[in-house]
Structure 1
Amino acid sequence: MMGVKDCLSGEVKEILESLASSWGDVIDSDALKVIPLKGAMTNEVYQINWPMKTGDLPRKVLVRIYGEGVEIFFDRDVEIRTFECMSRHGQGPRLLERFQNGRIEEFIHARTLSADDLREPKISALIAAKLREFHYLDMPGPKHVMLWDRLRNWLAEAKKMYSPKDAEEFSLDILEEEIRALEKELSLDYQHIVFCHNDLQYGNIMIDEETRLITIIDYEYASYNPIAYDLANHFCEMVANYHSETPHILDYVKYPGLEERQRFVRIYLSSSGNEPSDIEVEQLVQDAEKYTLASHLLWGLWGIISERLNEIDFDYKEYARQRFQQYWLWKPKLLASSGVPQDDGVNNDCLS
């Protein structure tokens, strides 16, 4: 276990020992067990256990070590403010300590969902209701759509990292026009702008098996955006299994069918206490389906940027290729009646 423990810096171990000493119920503050947690693709995450004097379950905390270069994706100070505000709302874990390149969080005594859980109707219903509660929390930050600026910023960063020849593989030269056209098509007057999670994959959702309470965690990408975008991103995440032998491979056979999406949206809307009309449900389902295009572009860009930044064992480039492939595949079908140009001239080499 010493090899694993060595992954923590002296500063972190000192903070952990100080925390354990302050609790008074730990046998030996230095006798910590370090357990790496799999599935994180931006940070390194560790569960820390200490044996307790009472002989009960061990005392636990979570250590999160930030990935290299993540400031390209989000502002860490903003993320910490979000984290602390969520805690004040009674959502998510408490922040225990910060250190230079990470933080120590309260360990939530609930299990992280699996890929299969997202498709289980009872759990999916709990997620839908919890997501609506999350969306309407009063959170700090600009209360306008952040999606389009984020897409443009990530595209600019990706272009800096890749030569024109490499950029051609992912059609980066024409994505600015694609983003502009999508923004024009999807900026609807009637859509609700709420505080979105923007990364609602199964690893960011926990469930207490006894109370059946859902907790949404990890707010690095959270910001105000349209409801339909957060739903779209969640539906897209149903095709991923980041704990498989090939975590970068996406299985679009698992994308939720129309009835499943309608059920999720109806539960989401009805959790406010008002039963939605069929028209309201259909409209949000249709809007969410169009926003999957924005989700594919965003996480495609995330993949090719991460390929140059991150040393986590994950094939970011192949993941990006699949997300871009879905964008070009579904764009003509989802926007056939819109003014978005369909003759995109994309280099389809990256789709093979």
Structure 2
Amino acid sequence: MSIEKELSEKAFQLCSKFLCGEWKDRNNFKVEKLNGGLTNKLYICSTQTGEGKIKKVVLRIYGLIMQDVNAQITESVVFAILGQKELGPKLFGAFSEGRLEEYIPGRNLKTEELRIPEISTTIATRLADYHELEVPMSRDPVLLEQFQGYYKRCEQLGVNMERYKEPFKFCSQLIQNTRSPIVFCHNDVHEGNILIDKEKIDAGSSMIESLRLIDFEYSAYGFRGFDFANHFNEWTMDYSNTKWPHYHFNQSDFPSNDQQRRFISAYLEQQGKLSEDSIVQIMEEVMEFAMVGHVYWSLWSEIQAKVSDIEFGYVEQG
């Protein structure tokens, strides 16, 4: 059996098991690859109802970097809670290699849209709400543990670590000494994880009202400054490049002080905590964690380059 046929059969069995009804009809079942995942492989599964309507769900198959069972369980719990709160897609089924989730018709943001003032401030309010979530998981920040884990894994995989030694030491010390508050972080707020919900647009909502954060696989309790800095770093990365290494990097696109202040002000206003001191505090946290974000994702990229079969320039990104 070819890989395509094997995948199609596995997808059908999963949809039939978790969704029942029309999903048990093999003749109307289809599966197609969904582009965009850098960690996991994504597929759209579809079937036809008795009335001729098309139903769709997303099948997510975890990448090799997400093989820790505890991490998978935690992420599924987070995903289910956010789906129930209508802050993310609904969870339809979880299994050892991945999950079935709600398909939300729409499109992801483009990198250049992150700097549009209305969109930027809306992302800030979404992040503000996210940071105030109460999630039943450990409140201990996981950033340092993950950071050290990525470094150790790179060593095990034979990566030349010479250029990482000093940055790793510096960033580890910074994480240990930070005074940035602990909140429930998304940890991966880039344009590919921000969706414009087509159904809300069709119902009369504005594009701004329809923005949703998606993909919560890196969500955990952590330092507020890391989430901000990580998002601002993503302003410099454009993943729409169809040619190798499949991204463009432009450091000059990092948000200016004015753009940072606008974003941070919207965030604080959403939480009812707007003050000049608070704005300055978060801007200082951004300066602290910007380098941490670069080194963190560079180590992640080195691992992906060794273990992932997704076509992407991970080494070049690192």
TM-score band by shorter chain is: 0.7 to 0.9
> Which letter does structure 2 place at the counterpart of 1:45?
L
Give the total of aligned pairs. Answer: 308
- Uncovered stretches (5+) of structure 2, i.e. residues with no partner: none
- Uncovered stretches (5+) of structure 1, i.e. residues with no partner: 321-352
1:197 maps to 186
CA distance in 2, matches of 1:95, 1:195: 20
Per the alignment, do residues 80 and 104 of structure 1 end up closer, same or farther by CA in structure 2, a change over 3 Å counting?
Answer: same
2:136 maps to 140
2:229 maps to 232
> Which letter does structure 2 place at the counterpart of 1:243?
S
- For residue 223 of structure 1, report the CA deviation from its aligned partner: 0.9
- For residue 22 of structure 1, report the CA deviation from its aligned partner: 1.1
Q: Match for 1:121 among 117, 122, 126?
A: 117
> Which letter does structure 2 place at the counterpart of 1:208?
D
What TM-score, normalized by structure 1, do the two folds share? 0.80
Alignment of 1:167 with 2:167, yes or no, is no
1:48 maps to 45
- For residue 130 of structure 1, report the CA deviation from its aligned partner: 0.8
> Which letter does structure 1 place at the counterpart of 2:193?
N
Q: Match for 2:290 among 281, 292, 296?
A: 292
Deviation by residue 1:273-293 (Cα, 9 ceiling, x = unmatched): 45x222321221221122111
Per the alignment, do residues 21 and 74 of structure 1 end up closer, same or farther by CA in structure 2, a change over 3 Å counting?
Answer: closer
- For residue 55 of structure 1, report the CA deviation from its aligned partner: 4.2
Alignment of 1:181 with 2:173, yes or no, is yes
8 Å CA contact 1:152, 1:179 repeated in 2:
no
Per the alignment, do residues 31 and 5 of structure 1 end up closer, same or farther by CA in structure 2, a change over 3 Å counting?
Answer: farther
> Which letter does structure 2 place at the counterpart of 1:10?
E
- For residue 159 of structure 1, report the CA deviation from its aligned partner: 1.1
- For residue 4 of structure 1, report the CA deviation from its aligned partner: 8.7
Deviation by residue 1:145-190 (Cα, 9 ceiling, x = unmatched): 2211211111111111116xx222xx234454223332255x12xx
Q: Match for 2:317 among 316, 319, 322?
A: 319
CA distance in 2, matches of 1:7, 1:15: 12
Per the alignment, do residues 151 and 19 of structure 1 end up closer, same or farther by CA in structure 2, a change over 3 Å counting?
Answer: closer
> Which letter does structure 1 place at the counterpart of 2:294?
H
Alignment of 1:32 with 2:24, yes or no, is no
> Which letter does structure 2 place at the counterpart of 1:64?
R
What TM-score, normalized by structure 2, do the two folds share? 0.87
8 Å CA contact 1:129, 1:271 repeated in 2:
yes
Alignment of 1:95 with 2:95, yes or no, is no
Q: Secondary structure at the match of 1:50?
A: strand
Per the alignment, do residues 160 and 96 of structure 1 end up closer, same or farther by CA in structure 2, a change over 3 Å counting?
Answer: same
Higher Cα radius of gyration: 1
Alignment of 1:62 with 2:58, yes or no, is yes
8 Å CA contact 1:135, 1:195 repeated in 2:
yes
Per the alignment, do residues 21 and 142 of structure 1 end up closer, same or farther by CA in structure 2, a change over 3 Å counting?
Answer: closer
CA distance in 1, matches of 2:87, 2:146: 25
Q: Secondary structure at the match of 1:247?
A: coil
- For residue 126 of structure 1, report the CA deviation from its aligned partner: 1.3
Per the alignment, do residues 125 and 23 of structure 1 end up closer, same or farther by CA in structure 2, a change over 3 Å counting?
Answer: farther
CA distance in 1, matches of 2:311, 2:268: 39
- For residue 114 of structure 1, report the CA deviation from its aligned partner: 2.1
8 Å CA contact 2:22, 2:47 repeated in 1:
no
- For residue 304 of structure 1, report the CA deviation from its aligned partner: 0.6
Select between 100-109 and 206-215 the one with higher mean Cα deviation: 206-215
> Which letter does structure 1 place at the counterpart of 2:183?
V
- For residue 128 of structure 1, report the CA deviation from its aligned partner: 0.7
Aligned identity (percent) is 28
2:268 maps to 269
1:328 maps to none
Per the alignment, do residues 73 and 121 of structure 1 end up closer, same or farther by CA in structure 2, a change over 3 Å counting?
Answer: farther
